[in-house]
Amino acid sequence: MRLGIVRGHVTLTPSVPELMGLTLVVLEPITTANLLANNGLGGGKSLIAVDALGAAKGQTVGFTEGREAANPFWPALVPVDAYCTLIVDTIKAGKP
């Protein structure tokens, strides 16, 4: 799971039936340097993920990538390779 900041949402018309009704968010992954600096910036290459948790713009989420991202839809087969697994409350990183 990587960390990403929600930068916006995407809607599709039309879309493949498997994606209908899903919420898609634009994520900006957080780099190690930005995480340790705790500056609220992302810095990674943007990507789109499915969000079932209702993450709002500006919130930080943990997102799963790869085949496991489609597991929540099991046994349906969906073309999903990124899925918001958790919404971050707090992160403690760096020297305690």
Q: Which one of residues 32, 39, 40, 57 is an interface residue with other proteins (CB under 8 A)?
A: 32
> Considering the rule CB under 8 A, would residue 62 count as an interface residue with other proteins?
yes
Query: Phi and psi of 58, rounded to 5°?
Result: 95, -15
HSE-CB of 1 using CA atoms within 13 angstroms = 12
Binding range to other proteins, per CB under 8 A, among 6-14, 15-23, 71-79: 71-79
* H-run or E-run covering 15: none
Q: Among 71, 49, 73, 72, which Cα is nearest to 61's?
A: 49
Q: Is 13 in the site for other proteins (CB under 8 A)?
A: no
**Residues of the shown chain interacting with other proteins in the complex, contacts defined by CB under 8 A:** 1-3, 29-33, 35-36, 44, 52-54, 62, 64-69, 71-75, 83, 85-94, 96
